[in-house]
């Protein structure tokens, strides 16, 4: 089968054997999404990964130990725990120290014609959700994760810093939740995408001199300036949620957190069933973020597109 692999830090679309699915499910990929993490890995700045990239996908199961899965459209939790440690036993494979992560850590991912995964990681896509919507389930779950971590009762002022793919999904999730959330970014064109959905937006430049504006600030810029900006815009005793898997170093005086008594929360992967529920209810509209769809064969060009400043979601179409 065809797969887009990172070999010696070089991206290549190449022929590889179809994954062996002994004891696991094998899904034929329909769409896969390129996210900032993939770009960071390909640039060599994230993890020393070698193999098939890709962790955002929707596909159809072709083989599985339990035949009930066969023929079903699925998305998947990307964390594969060891199954033996205390974290795994507590149902917390996401934090298993020995976990593999699809297309990120120790496991071939979904930029391919087929992917193999434990059936326990699969979530059936409801009939009301199209493949083009379902491919957003993984990043949407990561966006929804914030609602599991932060109380946002009515009246909470929420700012989301970063108008990229993840910031947009976070803004949509809060908007669907009925929260007063403002998306703050540097690109008028991207902010317009959110504004079209009725989400309040602000240009970051307009808030350069502002401070202590929001009760909750979500940092999703992927930039080195994001942390300081998020702290500045948070009111005393407010909460800063960090979503960027930014791998540079943030430096700032501890007093910027200590004096205003800020709470800082790291936030990563979320519950896929929550994302599928949002999609089935049409509470969010992720497909407005699709910039371009490339065939897997043209994956290198797709990556180039995804790296273009101002780009939103680039998808790969794997079936054909």
The residues of the shown chain that bind Zn ion, judged by CB under 5 A, are 35, 37, 81-82, 85, 88, 96
Shortest separation between residue 319's beta carbon and Zn ion, angstroms: 21
For residues 92 and 273, which CB has a smaller minimum distance to Zn ion in the complex?
Answer: 92
CB nearer to Zn ion: pick between 81 and 109: 81
- Name the minimum Å distance from CB 34 to Zn ion: 9
Q: First-to-last CA distance in the chain?
A: 11
Length of the chain: 320
**Tally of CB atoms within 10 A around 227:** 23
Contact criterion met (CB below 8 Å) for 211 and 229? no
Q: Tell me how far, at minimum, the Cβ of 211 lies from Zn ion, in Å.
A: 31
Backbone angles phi, psi at 206, to 5 degrees: -70, -20
**Identity of the residue, 40 or 179, whose beta carbon is nearer to Zn ion in the bound complex:** 40
Q: Cβ 57 to Zn ion, closest distance in Å?
A: 11
Smallest gap from Cβ 103 to Zn ion, in A, equals 9
- Cβ closest to Zn ion, residue 57 vs residue 227: 57
Closest distance between Zn ion and the C-beta of residue 88, in Å? 3
Residues 6+ apart with CB under 8 A from 210: 232, 233
For the record, the structure tokens of 161 come out as 């810093």
Query: Could you say which DSSP state residue 105 is in?
Result: B
Q: Tell the smallest beta-carbon distance from residue 85 to Zn ion (Å).
A: 3
**Comparison of 30 and 215: residue with beta carbon closer to Zn ion:** 30
* 194 contact partners, CB below 8 Å, separation of at least 6: 163, 168, 171, 172, 183, 201
Q: Cβ closer to Zn ion: 19 or 81?
A: 81
Separation CA 47–CA 58 (nearest Å): 24
Q: Is residue 49 within 8 Å of 41, Cβ to Cβ?
A: yes
Beta strands 122-124 and 114-117, pairing class: unpaired
Angle of CA points 7, 11, 14, to nearest 5°: 80
Give 249's Cβ-side CA count (13 Å radius). 2
């Amino acid at each position: 089968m065809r797969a887009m692999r990172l070999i010696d830090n070089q991206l290549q679309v190449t022929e590889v054997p179809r994954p062996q699915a002994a004891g696991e499910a094998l899904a034929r990929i329909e769409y896969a999404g390129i996210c900032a993490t993939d770009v960071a890995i390909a640039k060599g700045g994230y993890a020393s990964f070698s193999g098939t990239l890709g962790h955002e996908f929707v596909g159809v199961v072709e083989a599985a130990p339990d035949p009930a899965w066969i023929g079903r459209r699925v998305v998947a939790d990307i964390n594969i725990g060891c199954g033996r440690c205390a974290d795994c036993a507590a149902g917390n494979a996401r934090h298993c120290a020995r976990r593999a992560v699809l297309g990120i850590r120790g496991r071939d991912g979904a930029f391919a014609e087929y992917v193999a995964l434990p059936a326990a990681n699969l979530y059936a896509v409801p009939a009301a959700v199209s493949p083009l919507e379902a491919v957003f389930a993984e990043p949407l779950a990561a966006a929804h994760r914030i609602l599991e971590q932060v109380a946002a009762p009515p009246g909470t002022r929420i700012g989301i810093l970063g108008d990229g793919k993840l910031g947009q999904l976070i803004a949509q999730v809060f908007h669907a939740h009925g929260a007063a959330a403002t998306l703050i970014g540097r690109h008028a064109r991207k902010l317009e995408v959110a504004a079209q959905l009725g989400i309040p937006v602000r240009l970051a430049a307009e808030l350069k001199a502002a401070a202590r504006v929001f009760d909750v600030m979500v940092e999703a810029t992927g930039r080195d300036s994001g942390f300081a900006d998020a702290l500045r815009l948070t009111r005393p005793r407010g909460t800063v949620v960090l979503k960027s898997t930014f791998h540079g170093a943030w430096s700032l005086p501890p007093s910027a957190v200590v004096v205003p008594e800020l709470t800082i929360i790291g936030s990563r992967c979320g519950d896929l069933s929550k994302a599928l529920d949002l999609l089935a209810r049409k509470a969010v509209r992720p497909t407005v973020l699709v910039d371009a769809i490339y065939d897997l064969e043209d994956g290198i060009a797709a990556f180039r597109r995804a790296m273009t400043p101002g780009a939103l979601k680039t998808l790969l179409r794997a079936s054909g």
